[in-house]
Amino acid sequence: MKLGVFDSGVGGLSVLKSLLQTHFFKEYIYYGDTARVPYGVKDKNTIIKFSLEALDFFKTKQVDMLVVACNTVSAYALEILRSNANFPVLGVIDAGILATKNTLLDKESKILVIATKATVDSHEYKKGLNKEGFFNIEERATGLFVPMVEEGIFQGYFLESAFKYYFDNLTYIPDALILACTHFPLISSSLQQYFGNNTKLIHSGEAMALQLKQEYDLREKYKDIKLSFFASSDEKKLRDIAKLWLD
Ligand code: DGL
């Protein structure tokens, strides 16, 4: 079983990390479009075009399944990727909704989705959560967290200022905070501290691992795995960050 993992850049490593812990696959091929990141500020047609180009890359690698780690791509390009691939293509939004449904028993729960502007504008989380009977949902674009994480800012003064900037006017404490962007799990400890322990954090990577287990019935199987990294620019930088983020 060869799994492809696609992201607009390095952020998808947070999803790859959770997937590696499952031992569901023998081989992992990660591709980040580092030359053209961020996708989260781009328009739909551009996101679709770049995503289809990435799909061509995964076809040459003959993957058995593709996980789209990027929320922005999952929001705009999942259907077109599926119709152009002859292997399953899974997106993190469906996984995140499944994980939220499993986490929150009360349909009145307040859910805050934080994501890139493009993901928020798509309202894919809201639509999916509505279908599951959740209606207390707010989606907020918190794009500044992306460059901060890329700079290695996971805590401290700058991040706290950004929390203030984005969340100061929140009038409620969310029951669940959906980390609807690949980069956000890296600041999850700081977010948890800010919102308090009553807020459940939904992490795309863990959600995807859960979906693979629940819906594809995959089981822990492979101990020795093969891991390859590819990027549209500066593969060395991607590998260096992978060493850091994946321990
Ligand atoms: N990977 C993107 C996402 O999860 C964040 C970075 C970007 O904007 O490309 O939405």
DSSP per-residue string spanning 91-109: EHHHHHHHHHHHH---TT-
Question: Ligand 1, atom 7: nearest CA belongs to which residue?
Answer: 38
CA 70 – ligand 1 centroid, Å: 5
pLDDT at 219: 85
Number of continuous H segments (helices) and E segments (strands) in the chain: 12, 9
Per-residue burial over 202-237, b = 16 or more CB atoms within 10 Å of its CB, e = otherwise: bbbbbbbbbbbeeeeebeeeeeeeeeebbbbeeeee
CA 112 – ligand 1 centroid, Å: 18
Of 6, 11, 115, residue with least CA distance to 52: 6
CA 180 – ligand 1 centroid, Å: 9
Q: Are 84 and 55 in contact (CB under 8 A)?
A: yes
In 20-136 the beta strands, taken as DSSP E runs, fall at 27-32, 65-68, 89-91, 111-115
Measured CA to CA, the distance from residue 205 to residue 147 in angstroms comes to 20
Alpha-carbon dihedral angle through residues 104, 10, 33, 5, given to the nearest 10 degrees: -50
DSSP class of 184: G
Catalytic-labelled residue, pool 70, 159, 202, 241? 70
**Active site annotation includes 181:** yes
pLDDT at 39: 97
pLDDT at 242: 94
Full pLDDT tens readout for the chain, 247 residues:
899 999 999 999 999 999 999 999 999 999 999 999 999 999 999 999 999 999 999 999 999 999 999 999 999 999 999 999 999 999 999 999 999 999 999 999 999 999 999 999 999 999 999 999 999 999 999 999 999 998 899 999 999 999 999 999 999 999 999 999 999 999 999 999 999 999 999 999 999 999 999 998 888 888 899 999 999 999 999 999 999 889 8
> Does the CA dihedral 199-171-188-100 come out positive or negative?
positive
pLDDT at 150: 87
Per-residue burial over 153-162, b = 16 or more CB atoms within 10 Å of its CB, e = otherwise: beeeeebeeb
For 201, the token pair is: 């954090």
Q: Are 206 and 21 in contact (CB under 8 A)?
A: no
Measured from CB, residues less than 6 Å from any atom of ligand 1 are 7-9, 11, 37-40, 70-72, 116, 119, 146, 181-183
Residue among 14, 30, 37 to mutate when testing ligand 1 (max atoms within 8 A of CB): 37
Of 44, 37, 12, 206, residue with least CA distance to 119: 44
Q: What are the residues facing 110 on neighbouring strands? A: none
Neighbours of 128 (CB within 10 A): 18
Tens of pLDDT, residues 112-160:
999 999 999 999 999 999 999 999 999 999 999 999 998 899 999 999 9
pLDDT at 217: 87
Q: What are the residues facing 5 on neighbouring strands? A: 30, 67
Measured CA to CA, the distance from residue 32 to residue 177 in angstroms comes to 26
pLDDT at 222: 85
Neighbours of 238 (CB within 10 A): 22
Neighbours of 134 (CB within 10 A): 23
pLDDT at 220: 84
pLDDT at 82: 98
